[in-house]
């Protein structure tokens, strides 16, 4: 009886909290969270929740998706530019608080948010016109999904990239299973498991951004892109290249000295193997990464490892279908309140069975994501 009563109280509290959060999400007048402009032949979208670091919510997804679809077939729109308001962030992630509250009580928002977000990610990944994301500032989680699948991603010295989902019982979604395994060596796996932050020029060196331009030049760059008459992919490329100080060659020598070590230590066929590598290496960097992994959700780590292994040979569409399955599994079993000392269950890697991980990847039948 006690557990049944606490369950009812918990659901009631979660429902109240969800209604309060939803109220906050809806109070801003419709459309204000996304600013849409037509400048010449360019469609410009500005993510406009600066106080929330432009975190992506359902309202924003539902405004952005039809606009992109409309511009894709509009003869008077030749290029799309996406940026963030406020000077601090492009988009610091998805508004996951409302979604997790919904997930706890089986509310439809948990299904709809991920479904519509992934459909938006796929639209960006298959966009038929030049798509330019100006990732000038914090770009994490959901913000990565709005940029990394587009043809052009422009980082600046203010860019801070991370996929920190394993720390909150999730996995690097929004197509992380597609782009992360395609980064050099084990770099994607390292970023996915640890949530390590790449900054500035390293975001481009890693291959996450396509270009690096100084922040003070972004306004001039945007003006030049907007002024292009019927630009082709090559025209946009030429303008972006002209803003880079030197021709860029992909290289492993990032300014962060530990990246080569990460690529070596994260070479393993299991998460346990990686932890073993880190512990036996003994360098300060390896110790720090071992400590980081020890704080993450063990289930998340194993799901993420399998997600990236599988995603390396999949199309973006196949990855998003897989990640939608994972998102729904995580809603049921994984999410914890986002504090600094979560209690994970199971609490160790050893306790996470292969079968429980496998189950998260199972088909949802007619509830699967359709793209």
Which one from 43, 84, 94, 188 is the annotated catalytic residue?
A: 94
**Catalytic, out of 107, 165, 202, 222:** 165
Cα gap 124→137, rounded to integer Å? 20
The number of beta carbons lying within 10 Å of the beta carbon of residue 102 is 24
273 is catalytic: no
Taking alpha carbons only, the member of 56, 221, 196, 202 closest to residue 134 is 221
Give me Rg for the CA atoms of the chain. 21
Q: Beta 160-162 vs 198-199: how paired, if at all?
A: antiparallel
94 counts as catalytic = yes
Q: Which of 43, 93, 142, 145 is catalytic?
A: 142
Q: How many angstroms separate the Cα of 355 from the Cα of each of 198, 347, 351, 352, 360? A: 34, 16, 11, 8, 9
**Owner of token pair 């913000």:** 143
CA–CA separation, 111 and 142 (whole Å): 16
CA dist 344 and 239 (Å) reads 49
How many CA atoms does the CB half-sphere of 108 hold within 13 Å?
3
CA distances from residue 18 to 89, 103, 169, 200, 303 in whole angstroms, order as listed: 25, 10, 19, 36, 27
Cα–Cα distance measured from residue 254 to residue 260, given in angstroms and rounded to the nearest whole number: 9
**Catalytic member of 136, 173, 202, 323:** 173
Whether 78 sits among the annotated catalytic residues: the reply is no
Active site includes 165?
Answer: yes
* Catalytic residue annotation: 94, 142, 165, 173
């Amino acid at each position: 009886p006690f557990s049944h009563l606490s369950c009812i109280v918990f659901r009631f509290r979660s429902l109240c909290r969800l209604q309060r959060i939803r109220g906050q999400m809806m109070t801003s007048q419709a459309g204000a969270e996304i600013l849409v402009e037509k400048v010449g032949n360019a469609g410009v979208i500005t993510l406009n929740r600066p106080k929330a670091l432009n975190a992506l919510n359902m309202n924003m997804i539902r405004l952005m998706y039809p606009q992109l679809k409309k511009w894709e077939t509009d003869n008077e729109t030749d290029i799309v530019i996406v940026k963030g308001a406020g000077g601090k962030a492009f988009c610091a992630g998805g508004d996951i608080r409302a979604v997790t509250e919904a997930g706890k009580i089986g509310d439809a928002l948990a299904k709809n948010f991920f479904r519509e977000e992934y459909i938006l990610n796929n639209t960006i990944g298959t966009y038929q016109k030049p798509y330019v994301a100006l990732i000038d500032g914090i770009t994490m989680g959901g913000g990565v999904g709005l940029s990394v699948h587009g043809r052009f991603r422009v980082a600046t010295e203010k860019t801070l990239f991370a996929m920190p989902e394993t720390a909150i019982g999730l996995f690097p979604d929004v197509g992380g299973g597609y782009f992360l395994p395609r980064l050099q060596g084990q770099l994607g796996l390292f970023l996915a498991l640890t949530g390590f932050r790449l900054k500035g020029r390293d975001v481009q060196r890693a291959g996450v951004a396509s270009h690096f331009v100084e922040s003070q030049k972004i306004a001039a760059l945007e003006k030049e892109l907007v002024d292009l008459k019927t630009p082709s992919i090559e025209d946009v490329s030429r303008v972006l290249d002209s803003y880079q100080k030197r021709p860029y060659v992909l290289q492993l020598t990032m300014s962060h000295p530990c990246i080569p070590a990460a690529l070596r230590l994260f070479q393993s066929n299991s998460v346990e193997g990686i932890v073993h590598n880190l512990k036996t290496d003994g360098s300060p960097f390896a110790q720090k990464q071992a400590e980081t992994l020890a704080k993450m959700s063990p289930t998340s780590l194993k799901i993420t490892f399998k997600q990236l292994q599988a995603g390396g040979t999949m199309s973006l569409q196949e990855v998003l279908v897989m990640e939608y399955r994972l998102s729904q599994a995580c809603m049921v079993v994984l999410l914890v309140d986002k504090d600094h000392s979560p209690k994970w269950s199971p609490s160790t890697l050893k306790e996470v069975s292969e079968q429980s991980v496998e189950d998260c990847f199972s088909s949802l039948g007619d509830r699967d994501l359709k793209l």
